[in-house]
Homo-oligomer: A and B are copies of this chain.
Amino acid sequence: MNFLDLTFNMQLTYQPFELELKHTFTIAKFSRSSTPLMLVQLHHDGFTGYGEASMVPYMGESYASATAFLQQVDVSRFTYPFDFEAILDYLDEIAPGQPAIKAAIDIALNDLNGKLKQQPCWQLLGSDPVQMPVTSFTVGIASPDVMVQKLKDAKGFKVVKVKLGSSDDKGLINTIRSVTDVPLYVDANQGWNDCEQALDLVYWLHEQGIKLIEQPFSKTDPDSNAWLTERSPIPIIGDEAVQRLPDVAKAKGIYHGINIKLMKSAGMFEAKRMIDEANKLGLKIMIGCMSETSCATLAAAALAPQCHWADLDGPFLTVNNPYKMPDFLDGRWVLNNGFGLGLSLTESVSK
């Protein structure tokens, strides 16, 4: 069947969805117990592409902003074969910012593209499933008792990520080390503010088996981040400082690497360009997530084999994932050979 010969009658549908978190999530600046998602579908001649926007409150998107955006999207402009660059330019013309809802459309388009081409997204994006990195499991700030319980939940993961920024970061690490010697990633979430103190802490963290540190200082303080990067024995990764493609080049000389998230990059197409740019510049690459379902997780997993570190624990931290859990073996997501994202809607067809 040659789709070029068909009238391309694309349809867009979407539903708000409140994704509930397993644990109330506390990082340096706030707590919350659920995340608003917008689930998006693009339909074409019996094929459906699935996408998702995860709108964590501090990023500024909401059901209202997402709905207003989607109502302005003219899907008749999405003609096959898809010109992802032109489509992203078009979405950027509708409104600046709003990367999460743009990502939802981009992910749905990638899923649909794979289904029309009868290939998995990971294959179309040039990933080798064998190169899949282990995924870290994030543990938020909590009392020692709760921390220990959360670490028990992390059985089966090869790396744990811990959010720092409490009044006693060393005490938190000591609590973790009293129960497990699992490798750790540390996310400071811009919580540090003194260079010398930070460097002392970094040396101490190095002795504790910490493998990377995310965003130590404010994203608006490149000098402190660069100062620490120059001296740190642990890779320093820019997260909040790196949103879309132009931010990659700016990260050079300030961080050892960047954290790419689809909800920041406006989706898979730009994330792939950021990966290529980072490789060109010699920057290391982490791929991360927000609170997400299997849908956005599979979208990120399709690119993860091209990254050095993966932090894609979204579905493990939620209780009402509306899709089937992707396969997860030995601490790694397992890419499948389903067309598109390889997203299964339900656990069992017959139940």
Binding site for B on A (CB under 8 A): 22, 118, 129-130, 132, 137, 153-157, 315-317, 324-329, 334-339, 342, 344, 347-350
Contacts and interface: CB of A to CB of B under 8 A. Distances in A.
B334 A342 contact: yes
A20 to B, nearest CB: 14
Nearest to A335: B337
Contacts of A347: 325, 347
A139 to B, nearest CB: 11
A349 B155 contact: yes
13 contacts: A118-B130, A130-B337, A153-B350, A154-B350, A315-B348, A316-B349, A325-B348, A327-B336, A328-B348, A334-B336, A334-B337, A335-B337, A336-B336
A132 B339 CA distance: 12
Given A118-B130, A130-B118, A338 B349 contact: no
Q: What are the 8 closest A-B residue pairs judged by CB atoms, nearest first?
A: A156-B349, A129-B337, A336-B336, A334-B338, A316-B350, A153-B350, A335-B337, A334-B336
Interface of A, secondary structure class, is loop
Contacts of A350: 22, 137, 153-156, 316-317
Given A347-B347, A349-B155, A349-B156, A327 B338 contact: yes
Stoichiometry, as copies per complex, reads 2
Contacts of A344: 327-329, 334
Given A137-B350, A154-B350, A334-B344, 19 more contacts: A130-B337, A132-B337, A153-B350, A155-B350, A156-B350, A157-B349, A315-B348, A316-B349, A316-B350, A324-B325, A325-B348, A326-B327, A327-B342, A327-B344, A328-B344, A328-B349, A329-B339, A329-B342, A337-B337
Nearest to A315: B348
Nearest to A156: B349
A327 B325 contact: no
A199 B249 CA distance: 74
A338 B342 contact: no
A329 B338 contact: yes
A348 B129 contact: no
Contacts of A328: 344, 348-349
Contacts of A336: 327, 334-337
A157 B349 CA distance: 8
Contacts of A324: 325, 327
Contacts of A316: 348-350
